[in-house]
A and B are shown apart, each in its own frame.
Chain A
């Protein structure tokens, strides 16, 4: 059994007034094994974000099945969804989504506090993570006082601190400069090597080239996937760009 299984996933949006329907996801199928580092690529409008929202249980699928460790998301009661999200998923967003009302430390603690953990426990847990992410010095600062890269690392720390089964990252490098991007991708690689499963949505080929597998989505379907295998980042990057060119130029498979 895979960690994450997605079968025949379909999502149709209706415009608010009137019956115009937009098919964001038509038929998506894939699986993520434990410890994998998967990137999902696609042009804007291809349905990436919709997919991620459904995986995160932020949105409901029109049809199809999503299961984490065999547990179906669609079967979760509304009440339990928040708990599920908190216990099993870690999020990293393009816009960091740190709350400006909290210090960096409190932002990281937020999911744990919601689960009712004690301060001593939380701070024990934070120490190694903060050290690894290089943010021990800025824990007491507020989001507006630190750089974008630091914010994103804080967001990663917030995602990691709950020991999630899977980290969902939505364009994590989208708002970062190249130096901060590299740093973040290096951290993702490190974390993944320690066994953390990561699912990242991106349209940066460079970011995707750090993953172990890349899924390409087009018109609401998984169009293609490539594995890194033994290739280096460089040659994997080459393969990805080639596929992307094919994706934009080529009509159907």
Chain B
């Protein structure tokens, strides 16, 4: 029976500490099963069930599994070191009772074997069961073929088991080291360590506030989406640092300032709460900051992902305004004649008639596109040498559109005088009164006429993130020639004709129609020698392209949900452990207060107010971070072709409310654990 001594001791240790160990195992199980599920979804056999875009979806899933992997390592390591710290007293006692470090190591080894064994086995089993549901969900979202066969991806199982075995081995090793290097007495006392009164650190506290202010300012002051991406990562890092500084040092500082105010501090309502908060914040500052960061991360992720998913149709409609979209590019301006365009239009018309279909033209737009850099005095300079590729914020996209086209498209009859133009600014470009367009030292200046409301160009090329100015001119061919002549080999010179139409009534699908049309257009270009050499084109068929969007947005949304669950679970565990460790620490304190003359009610009120503050701090921080990140993220969403700020606002608010409710429930439940500990211990 002696051989079973250590396993039994280990099992007892786990059982006695189930308040600590079970939630840890639950988290392990959840992470393991999520990891397996993502690997499973990223496997080729799942990909086969998905429509076009399946590869994208698989890549997203694999990417998600990486995120879970990295997070598992950090988080499980952190959690385990907390567990070991809490149980140091127990190990110290064993040590005092005559167990050597070697024996302690044996107990820890068996404990690790038990917890990790159960976690991995259960995790995989849960993963296998849920993976089927996840697959059905994903396939349904992306519109693939539903299969009800239960499948086990053995390769994914191997990877999962192997990966988590390695993590648990590392954790086991670090526990052994931790217990190995400390003496019995320090083990016994380690739980009592850190009773010093925290000093207010002005430098760190104020530093945190300043960094946060800068990060917030950076986030709100962004104009162009391209800046947003660059600023985003800097801002995220600054916000993380600032959150930790503020929670750890700033909170102590604030309490100290409150304590200086005698009238406020020596009030029965604040006296106990404020002074206890100092300690609470000192001990939990880092934990609360982590919760705030995780909460922010989850909120940003899920609100963005859901916005992309629910905005998919908007994105597709914006990007592909009609069923079939053709774009022609001419090498020389003189080829972009009304005659040539009419010739091509006829090719479309012939094909339509041939196939006995009806179509509606949605866009018929000739324009010239150029890139320049924004300078002072309302000037845009097109000299290539002056365009600093690194200074993207000054880059501007300028599109010239014939007045006639504009009038036809908007059913208006605007006449421009010489030197006048309609100018539309979008995507962060400024509004102009007059505009100078300069190249090679020569320039054209237009007085800007109030364009009214109609911009016909807004649907164009939303993937393009550079601020755009469209200029409607009456002397279109002159303008083309002017810039062409003096602007050889520059960044632009796109003489473009865009022709998009809906297919209303046809025996063919849009894809078949477009494919045949492509042949017809190619033939037409071949037949006209000047075009065959100097004109090229491409087309996009909406339905087909849309699948890619749905696959990407759908899998991002899906992964957003999965990762949110994992992160939220981690945050819950942090909160839970925080409550437990505080409970043990506070139990003695409240006993004293009772003796000195605080009633149970007063004690309870004081506990409540402290818990509430500690509860709200991460939520408030997460809310603030989210609010300030909002403009930045909505700019970044522009890059993905999503311009529906209202939708993003809605998903953000809904996600925040849902999160707050969930958070409140979790807090309520874990608070009960806290109350039990505080009132139990006598």
Question: Is A71 part of the binding interface, using a Cβ–Cβ cutoff of 8 Å?
Answer: no
B597, A111: Cβ atoms closer than 8 Å: yes
Q: How far is the CB of B72 from chain A (nearest CB, A)?
A: 36
B276, A101: Cβ atoms closer than 8 Å: yes
Closest to A120 in B: B262
Q: How far is the CB of B355 from chain A (nearest CB, A)?
A: 84
B267, A113: Cβ atoms closer than 8 Å: yes
List the one stretch of A92-100, A175-183, A200-208, A242-250 in contact with chain B. A92-100
- Chain A residues with Cβ below 8 Å from B195 are 100, 144
Q: How far is the CB of B33 from chain A (nearest CB, A)?
A: 39
A82, B602: Cβ atoms closer than 8 Å: yes
A106-B275, A113-B271 known; A99-B599 Cβ under 8 A:
no
B595, A58: Cβ atoms closer than 8 Å: yes
A158, B268: Cβ atoms closer than 8 Å: no
For chain B residues 371-395, which have a beta carbon within 8 Å of chain A? none
Question: Is A109 part of the binding interface, using a Cβ–Cβ cutoff of 8 Å?
Answer: yes
Question: Is B515 part of the binding interface, using a Cβ–Cβ cutoff of 8 Å?
Answer: no
Q: Number of A residues contacting the other chain (C-beta, 8 Å)?
A: 34
B599, A113: Cβ atoms closer than 8 Å: no
The SS class assigned to the B binding surface is helix
For chain B residues 587-601, which have a beta carbon within 8 Å of chain A? 589, 592-601
Q: How far is the CB of B209 from chain A (nearest CB, A)?
A: 25
- Chain A residues with Cβ below 8 Å from B601 are 79
B275, A102: Cβ atoms closer than 8 Å: yes
Q: In the complex, what distance in Å separates the CA atom of A118 from the CA atom of B592? A: 23
Q: In the complex, what distance in Å separates the CA atom of A122 from the CA atom of B599? A: 21
Q: How far is the CB of A131 from chain B (nearest CB, A)?
A: 21
A113, B268: Cβ atoms closer than 8 Å: yes
Q: In the complex, what distance in Å separates the CA atom of A45 from the CA atom of B268? A: 37
A99-B589, A100-B195, A101-B275 known; A113-B595 Cβ under 8 A:
no
Q: In the complex, what distance in Å separates the CA atom of A212 from the CA atom of B417? A: 115
Choose among A99, A106, A114 the residue that contacts B602 (Cβ–Cβ < 8 A).
A114
- Chain A residues with Cβ below 8 Å from B197 are 100-101, 103, 142, 144
Closest to A168 in B: B595
- Chain A residues with Cβ below 8 Å from B276 are 101
For chain B residues 189-210, which have a beta carbon within 8 Å of chain A? 195-197
A97-B596, A99-B589, A114-B598 known; A119-B263 Cβ under 8 A:
yes
Question: Is A91 part of the binding interface, using a Cβ–Cβ cutoff of 8 Å?
Answer: yes
Convert B156-188 into 0s and 1s, putting 1 for each residue whose CB lies closer than 8 angstroms to a CB of A: 000000000000000000000000000000000
For chain A residues 193-228, which have a beta carbon within 8 Å of chain B? none
A82, B268: Cβ atoms closer than 8 Å: no
- Chain B residues with Cβ below 8 Å from A122 are 266
Question: Is A86 part of the binding interface, using a Cβ–Cβ cutoff of 8 Å?
Answer: yes
For chain B residues 295-348, which have a beta carbon within 8 Å of chain A? none
Question: Is B503 part of the binding interface, using a Cβ–Cβ cutoff of 8 Å?
Answer: no
Question: Is A234 part of the binding interface, using a Cβ–Cβ cutoff of 8 Å?
Answer: no
A144, B596: Cβ atoms closer than 8 Å: no
Question: Is B279 part of the binding interface, using a Cβ–Cβ cutoff of 8 Å?
Answer: yes
A113-B268, A142-B197 known; A97-B263 Cβ under 8 A:
no
- Chain B residues with Cβ below 8 Å from A97 are 592, 595-596
- Chain A residues with Cβ below 8 Å from B138 are none
B595, A110: Cβ atoms closer than 8 Å: no
- Chain A residues with Cβ below 8 Å from B60 are none
Q: In the complex, what distance in Å separates the CA atom of A113 from the CA atom of B597? A: 11
A99-B593, A100-B197 provided; 13 other pairs, C-beta below 8 A? A56-B595, A79-B599, A79-B601, A91-B596, A97-B592, A99-B592, A102-B275, A106-B271, A109-B266, A114-B602, A116-B268, A119-B262, A144-B197
3 nearest A-B pairs in the assembled complex, by CB-CB distance: A86-B597, A82-B599, A119-B262
Query: Which residues does A use to contact B, with CB under 8 Å?
Result: 56, 58, 78-79, 81-83, 85-86, 89, 91, 93, 97-103, 106, 109-111, 113-119, 122, 142, 144, 158
Please list 20 pairs of residues, one from A and one from B, whose beta carbons are closer than 8 Å in the complex, sorted by A's number. Answer: A78-B600, A81-B599, A89-B597, A91-B595, A97-B592, A97-B596, A99-B589, A100-B589, A101-B279, A102-B275, A106-B275, A109-B271, A110-B271, A114-B602, A117-B266, A118-B266, A119-B263, A119-B266, A144-B197, A158-B596
